[in-house]
């Protein structure tokens, strides 16, 4: 899911997402509740009408953003200052549900406690308990039958806590399950066992969503373990700064060797940008701070990730997923692929 934090993927319009074949995007409850506010969005037909977006929308609860602000936390909820104007706001699990219902997303996420890693076991355990308490309240508060609600599994990199959190969240009966608090700086060798522990307790007949993860290796490895949904700012953030995702790895478009390159960003890519413009031209736009450069690389990067997900789907059907995993690892983490032990 491309990340449209404030109701739009940065530098792109809804029509761009349609052209890319995107079916669902993510929007952020924290930012939308502050500006322009859930009231206005509801009056304008919800997020779909407001953004003129006919696809699906998932709104996260805003918990990650709130906890990045060092809020005052208690069992009832969180108190925090707006990053926009410094005003004080209160958010409870019930508030997060009501705001997301008014915004009108197709899928909303329960408010959770996002633990900064590394953290000692007692802190992780306490945050799991609080997240479970908030999840039960969110589930009870949810009223819209046309909107799914997902619970979120926490527990840091502790496999036992992850399994317990998943098992008890499932018992609350959500429509799907997010796995939060991973890929926040911990080594992949610590992330994957925690992910596997959570997935082992989540039902096969409900969506399983690994939150905030979007690099190519994590995508293919997550799918191999049973993940269904991902979101990440990586493709768009890199694109705005001139880093290109290609079939041979990352390309830094600012490098001097691209100045005379008349070929596309990626010869293996069939996106609209690669079909028309050269690396040389796009580098020029980037070097003179022409805003369209970031937009065009963003379009390409989203097309690259979309094509990778399509290849993963085909590989599952064809029984060649392990071969694709090896190919992606060799391209994006060659040292690890060469030394798998």
Which residues are catalytically annotated?
A: 60, 231
Contact call for residues 267 and 243 (beta carbons, < 8 A): no
Q: Which two tokens stand for residue 229?
A: 């949904």
Distance separating alpha carbons of residues 113 and 165, to the nearest angstrom: 12
Query: Residue 273: exposed, middle, or buried by beta-carbon count in 10 A (0-12, 13-18, 19+)?
Result: buried
Distance separating alpha carbons of residues 126 and 170, to the nearest angstrom: 19
Phi first, then psi, for residue 289 (nearest 5°) are 60, 35
If one counts every other C-beta atom within 10 angstroms of the C-beta of residue 211, the result is 25
Of the candidates 16, 32, 27, 25, the one whose C-alpha atom is nearest the C-alpha of residue 55 is 25
Beta-ladder partners of 58: 26, 107
Residue 286 C-beta-side C-alpha neighbours within 13 Å: 25
Phi first, then psi, for residue 310 (nearest 5°) are -65, -40
Distance separating alpha carbons of residues 216 and 332, to the nearest angstrom: 7
Of the candidates 37, 4, 43, the one whose C-alpha atom is nearest the C-alpha of residue 20 is 4
Beta-ladder partners of 91: 78
Contact call for residues 82 and 131 (beta carbons, < 8 A): no
Name every residue whose Cβ is closer than 8 Å to that of residue 47 and which is 6 or more positions away in sequence: 7, 27, 32, 41, 53, 57, 59, 103, 104, 105
Name every residue whose Cβ is closer than 8 Å to that of residue 36 and which is 6 or more positions away in sequence: none
């Amino acid at each position: 899911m491309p990340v449209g934090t404030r109701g739009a993927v940065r530098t792109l319009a809804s029509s761009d997402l349609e052209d890319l074949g995107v079916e669902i995007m993510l929007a952020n409850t924290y930012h939308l509740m502050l500006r322009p506010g859930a009231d206005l969005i509801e009056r304008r037909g919800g997020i779909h009408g407001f953004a003129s977006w006919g696809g699906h929308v998932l709104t996260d609860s805003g918990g990650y953003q709130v906890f990045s602000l060092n809020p005052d936390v208690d069992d009832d909820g969180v108190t925090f200052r707006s990053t926009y104007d410094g005003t004080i706001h209160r958010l409870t699990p019930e508030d997060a549900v009501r705001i997301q219902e008014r915004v009108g997303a197709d899928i909303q996420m329960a408010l959770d406690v996002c633990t900064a890693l590394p953290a000692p076991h007692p802190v992780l355990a306490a945050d799991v308990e609080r997240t479970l308490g908030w999840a039960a309240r969110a589930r009870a508060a949810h009223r819209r039958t046309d909107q799914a609600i997902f619970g979120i599994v926490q527990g840091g990199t502790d496999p036992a806590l992850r399994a317990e959190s998943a098992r008890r969240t499932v018992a609350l009966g959500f429509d799907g399950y997010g796995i939060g608090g991973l890929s926040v700086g911990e080594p992949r060798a610590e992330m994957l066992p925690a992910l596997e522990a959570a997935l082992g307790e989540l039902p096969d007949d409900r969506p399983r969503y690994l939150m905030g993860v979007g690099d190519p290796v994590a995508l293919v490895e997550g799918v191999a373990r049973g993940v269904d949904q991902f979101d990440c700012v990586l493709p768009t953030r890199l694109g705005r700064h001139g880093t290109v995702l290609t079939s041979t790895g990352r390309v830094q478009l600012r490098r001097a060797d691209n100045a005379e390159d008349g070929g596309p960003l990626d010869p293996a890519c069939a996106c609209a940008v690669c079909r028309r413009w050269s690396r040389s031209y796009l580098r020029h736009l980037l070097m003179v701070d022409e805003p369209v450069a970031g937009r065009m690389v963003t379009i390409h990067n989203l097309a690259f990730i979309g094509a990778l997900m399509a290849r993963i789907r085909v590989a599952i059907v064809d029984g060649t997923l392990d071969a694709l995993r090896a190919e992606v690892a060799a391209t994006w983490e060659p040292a690890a692929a060469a030394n798998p032990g």
